[in-house]
Copies of this chain bind each other. A is one copy, B any other.
Amino acid sequence: MKLKKVDLSFQSCTAEYKDADVVIFSVPMDATTSFRPGTRFAGNAVRVDSIGVEWYSPYRDMSLKDYKTSDVGDLDMPIGAVKECLDTIYDATKTILNDNKVPFMIGGEHLVTYPVLKAFKEKYDDLYVIHLDAHTDLREEFFGMEMSHATFMRQAHKFLGDHHIYQFGIRSGDKEEFEWAKKHIHQRKFDFEGLAEAVEFLKDKPVYITIDIDVLDPAVAPGTGTPEPGGMQYKDLIWAFEQFEKLNNLVGADLVELSPYLDPSGATNAVAAKTTREMVLLLHNALNKRK
């Protein structure tokens, strides 16, 4: 019997970093979470429970086994130092992009998407973002801070520019956020209506997709810091994946705000693991198209 070091990569994503086309990394950061923290544990929770999800997707008719994906684990976060954490995420994303690989990030709170978008914008000048979420995340500041999981998309707008952000499923925020959104971004409240049309428009543009797990109804994903009733069913998300399949230039993606300890049933971990599989396959699918 041959023994070697423990390998707890997500599902069958056991490629070495250098060989991989897609790279999974996770970010154990929840420093600016305003209600219930705990998203720092998401990455490893998804890894450990990923044995409960198959490598084959009957939705995509693709299998993780047939693609090269590396899982590099949790980034080291200097807990309590927000700026330094964001710098580390930015560096990791730059490294992956410079190595011509496609990143898939598992958050952490949603602020972790900000440095990723910054790194992507430097590579893709005309970057568009599809943002599935229950919350607007469009505050100018929050508790006096510019950088927070409630402000990150407003801050990202500063470099993404007007009309480059497409939000769907939004059902919580302050009045000012909704007003601001009308002028500067595409925002669909409450559901995914218009997503197919948006995808059609974005078909050949560089697109990054960020999924806040709380876009789903708390019935589907109770393991999240700020559950917001009235959300989407998982079948709606599967329908969204079908749309995403048409994006020829899908360049990166993330899944954030899973807080595993808040759902003792483990169902939210299963939601996150399945979503990770589908999104990683979608990233490979888009890579195939570009080859």
Across the interface, do B274 and A56 meet the contact criterion of CB distance under 8 Å?
no
CB distance from A224 to the nearest CB of B (A): 9
Residue of B nearest to A263 (CB): B265
Q: Which of A48-102 contact B (CB under 8 A)?
A: 48, 51-54, 56, 58-59, 61, 63, 70-74, 77-82, 84, 88, 91-92, 94-96
Query: Are the CB atoms of A173 and B262 closer together than 8 Å?
Result: no
- Residues from chain B with a CB closer than 8 A to the CB of A35 are 51-52
Q: Mark A234-253, 1 if CB is under 8 A from B, else 0.
A: 11011000000000000000
Q: Which residue of B lies closest to A62 (CB)?
A: B175
Report Cα–Cα, A6/B264, bound state, in Å.
25
A3-B25 CB under 8 A given contacts A37-B38, A227-B270, A229-B234: yes
Number of copies: 6
Give the contacts of A10-55 with B (CB-CB under 8 A). 14, 16-17, 23, 25, 30-38, 40-41, 44-45, 47-48, 51-54
Q: Is the interface of A mostly helix, strand, loop or mixed?
A: loop
Q: Which residue among A58, A84, A267 has the maximum number of chain B CB atoms within 10 Å of its CB?
A: A267
**A38, chain B: closest CB distance, angstroms:** 6
Complex: A71 Cα to B226 Cα, angstroms: 23
In-complex Cβ contact of A5 among B70, B222, B238 (8 A): B70
Using A37-B40, A84-B144, A264-B265 as known contacts, list a sample of 14 further A-B pairs with CB atoms less than 8 Å apart, ordered by residue number in A: A1-B88, A1-B94, A5-B9, A5-B16, A5-B73, A31-B80, A34-B51, A52-B227, A58-B190, A78-B144, A78-B145, A229-B270, A262-B265, A262-B266
